[in-house]
Copies of this chain bind each other. A is one copy, B any other.
């Protein structure tokens, strides 16, 4: 890089004057059958950086926050532009605001994480600059994006352990064994099919459709449907419509 010291000095000056930039990053998870075992594995899309810093490194989809959209909307738009998919689940992850995350101007990134269904069409939407990777075998990413992904993975496993989130990685109808495979893929451990089945059938959010999945090698399993509220916990969609608000008294 030419003029290295000069531009560094310029950066120092900029840092003192410019406010921190605000960006959105999104960790997008989907399941894809492993080529070897056939079991589902977590994948996520990354974009290749086409300019400095970290040129040619892979990074999370994202970008600066546009004026006209809420944080959630910005994340959803990034996701749509990158994968062509509409997420079944989208949640704020964390605001990363360390001083030296990015060389040059200071950047505060608000990270989101999403679950999308593994439509082949979507996964096929790759290009030279957008590619899907296995979440458990990531190379060195740009900025602190490895840490963001790790935190998202931690959160996903947590929700998978305690909450009801697996269905967002599946289509409308699914077998109980498919749900179990999702749990096993994310938590990376085997689960007892008998007990797992009992837990799910005890959950009233899981409803038998009456249909059966045909075409398998063995006894056709029942198809189920998730009837849990996809919208509106009391705090959902918080960012969109709201009272006016702003930071408190400036000291």
Contacts and interface: CB of A to CB of B under 8 A. Distances in A.
Contacts of A147: 235, 238, 242-243, 245
Counting chain B CB atoms within 10 Å of each CB, the highest count among A97, A106, A108, A168 belongs to: A97
B238 A90 contact: no
Given A143-B244, A241-B158, A250 B76 contact: yes
Given A236-B248, A237-B248, A243-B144, A70 B98 contact: yes
A29 to B, nearest CB: 14
A94 B97 contact: no
Contact of A247 (B24, B247, B250, B251): B24
A246 B242 contact: no
Contact of A20 (B65, B159, B243): B65
A247 B89 contact: yes
Instruction: Give the oligomeric copy count.
Output: 2
A162 B95 contact: no
- Interface size range on A against B: 35 or more
A102 interface: yes
B63 A244 contact: no
A20 B16 CA distance: 18
Interface in A77-121: 78, 81, 86-92, 94-104, 106-110
A50 interface: yes
A98 B239 contact: yes
A98 B241 contact: yes
Contacts of A60: 248
3 closest A-B pairs by beta carbon, nearest first, are A23-B247, A102-B246, A143-B245
